[in-house]
Amino acid sequence: MTNDLRTRQINTIRALALDAVKKANSGHTGTAMALAPLADVLFTKILKYDAAAPMWPDRDRFVLSAGHASMLLYSMLYLTGYGITLDDIQNFRQWGSLTPGHPEVGLTPGVEVTTGPLGQGVANAVGMALAERHLRARLGSEIVDHRTWAICGDGDLMEGVSHEAASLAGHQQLGGLVLVYDDNQITIDGPTSLTFSDDTQQRFESYGWHVLDLGEAAEDTDRLESALNEAAEIADRPSLVIVRSHIGFPAPTAVDTPGAHGAITDDQEIAAAKTAMGFDPEVTFRVDDDVLEAYRKAGARGVVQHADWKQRVADSDVDPGWIQALLTGSPLPNWSDELPNYEPGTSIATRNANNHVIDALVDVVPSLVSGSADLTGNTGTNLAAEALTPARPEGRKLYYGIREHAMGSVANGMALHGGVLPVVGTFLVFADYMRPSVRMAALSGAKAIFVWSHDSIGVGEDGPTHQPVEQVASLRAIPDLPVVRPADANEVSQTWNFAIENNGPIAVILTRQNVPVLEGTSRPGQVQRGAYVLIDAPDPAVILAGTGSEVQLCVEAAGSLAAEGIASRVVSMPCWELFADQEETYRFEVFPPGLPVVGVEAGVSLGWDRWADVTVTIDQFGASAPGSQVMEEFGFSAASVEAAARSVLQ
């Protein structure tokens, strides 16, 4: 190879990947090596960014969906000056490092999304592009005008989530989104011909994408730059740029092999690759001064653009408070005054109360964008606003179609872009279709609001296929995801008070059936504490603790027990996670040690042993019949709660 500066820049990326993976004895070398020219073009010629200000709102967004190739991104973040050091590169995959095995947003400056599970990044990028176009329509191109770029591989395009997301992006005519497909034709099991014979170009064209197949252009920086610039100018369609690369290039025997997908650690292979690049095989983590200088200049290219943007914002006729609210996703002052309050004795399904709340908030939480996977009118997410479409990108209601998996990941992308608070809904039983994206939301701290209705066997006639007995327990197993199951409409309002102020995702679990508004649920600040005493009695003998629609059964049972001379306390437990986070003194106030507890929930008993001595729960699938009858047949009645209380007292 030649020894010109551009070539040494590209080979430095490759050598850093070889050295970092070798030192860690863990990682993925081949894709970082093969895509080094593409990364060089992106970060020196294409992307709009200011490395000294990674969170500049009008920066281009870059998503490495093929997150296993993290050394490609880390090398660029170090070289261009994001604050990543050469020590960080040398500590790849080590404890406390800023360079973990897969990119993690919030940990490493310049990482936009947490990627790892394949396909997620593709859908995240669609969400980011949707957020950009939405904000540009509302604030104007002087304030918002950037692109979303993503790199994916064969694995991303085999995963179903990428199909769902690509279909939605094509339907939305989402210009400004450029996806580069690294067609290296290798997976861990062997060549992609073992499992994959799609015509990717035709598939994406059928989705409505603009497609450029560059063929053998992975080393042709001029061709790459030209194609990326062309794709960036397509305003009415997303673009797919297909590049045939050779994984592990220029390692002599690893190239184009499944082994190159993982860690290339053989000393002779690494030495041969470095020799082929004109580098001393004995030198590790080599970065020439002129190479670093060239990349740092590229990282500073956006300083002027950033300054110009700040001036445009300062000169804008748009109200500064409005700009700030939209760019940061902040609510307007006194927004919580709009939360509805409900009179005890009325009866309303919590899904319908949820719809009341988001309609009340639409003008005071300007970042709120609500939608559902074809169940908008059924899940309490039918925002009274215009639909977000190619013709009306400023719309606040997004129809996702029957694409639950992509919906969750797109919502994460919108949230992580900033400026949009995505609310997405479907039936609770379909949370399984969304689990990868919900887990990634929790891991990323993405502020997305996941609304799941039809929350129990109370669904009734649809039967066990649609009765989610295990789903709430399953969601509670995800760290950093508050799972809130409100007892009534007032608890729904309080749930939103918490959700808007919270910095991460939240799961909101809602009923299909009407439930009564209970006395005492309107007292402020209760849901935020996770559990609270709803009804008390002097010297209670037993605690009846319920969630969601079953709290009413606890209230009714408490009245009947009182008539028999048995004093009880009723505790509403809308969110176990928030309650567990409370100080011990408060938890002991609610559940005094030694006082027996009956836990009541129309779901599996798993997890209740932490809080209750006995439970009224369901550890089997439901049945098809009217909802009230199903609840009665499976023992969800005040009489069952009373019987459980008597048993624990005995």
Q: What CATH number has the domain bearing residue 548? A: 3.40.50.920
Q: How many helices (H) and strands (E) does the chain have?
A: 24, 20
Active site residue 230: no
In a domain, 309, yes or no: no
Are 134 and 18 contained in the same domain? yes
Of 261, 282, 303, which one is at a domain's C-terminal end?
303
Say whether pLDDT at 337 is over 80: yes
In a domain, 524, yes or no: no
Secondary structure class of 97 (helix, strand, coil)? coil
Are 509 and 570 contained in the same domain? no
Of 475, 494, 516, which one is at a domain's C-terminal end?
516
Domain with residue 247: its CATH number is 3.40.50.970
Are 512 and 536 contained in the same domain? no
Q: What phi, psi does 100 have (nearest 5°)?
A: -70, 175
Average pLDDT over residues 371-391: 97
Q: Which of 404, 491, 601, 642 is catalytic?
A: 404
Are 505 and 537 contained in the same domain? no
Are 296 and 392 contained in the same domain? no
Are 494 and 580 contained in the same domain? no
Q: Report the Cα–Cα distance between both ends of the chain, in Å, rounded.
A: 85
3-state secondary structure 166-226: HHHHHHCCCCCEEEEEECCCEECCEEHHHCCCCCHHHHHHHHCCEEEECCCCCCCHHHHHH
In a domain, 554, yes or no: yes
In a domain, 317, yes or no: no
Say whether pLDDT at 1 is over 50: no
Average pLDDT over residues 416-425: 98
In a domain, 135, yes or no: yes
pLDDT tens string 90-148:
999 999 999 999 999 999 999 999 998 999 999 999 999 999 999 999 999 999 999 99
- Residue 550: give the domain boundaries: 529-649
Are 497 and 571 contained in the same domain? no
Q: Give the residue among 525, 431, 533 at the shortest CA–CA distance from 481.
A: 431
R_g of the chain computed on alpha carbons = 27
Cβ proximity of 649 and 540 under 8 Å: no
Are 635 and 486 contained in the same domain? no
Name the band, by pLDDT with cuts 50, 70 and 90, for residue 161: very high
Are 381 and 432 contained in the same domain? yes
Mean pLDDT for the chain overall: 97
pLDDT tens string 231-283:
999 999 999 999 999 999 999 999 999 999 999 999 999 999 999 999 999 99
Are 544 and 458 contained in the same domain? no
492-503 in b/e burial notation, b at 16+ Cβ within 10 A? bbbbbbbbbeee
Of 493, 516, 539, which one is at a domain's C-terminal end?
516
Cα(483)–Cα(478) distance, rounded to whole angstroms?
Answer: 9
Are 172 and 35 contained in the same domain? yes
Instruction: With both helix axes pointing from N to C terminus, report the angle between 489-501 and 350-361 in degrees, rounded to the nearest 10.
Output: 50
Are 62 and 160 contained in the same domain? yes
In a domain, 448, yes or no: yes
What is the number of domains present in the chain?
Answer: 3
In a domain, 316, yes or no: no
pLDDT tens string 557-612:
999 999 999 999 999 999 999 999 999 999 999 999 999 999 999 999 999 999 99
In a domain, 463, yes or no: yes
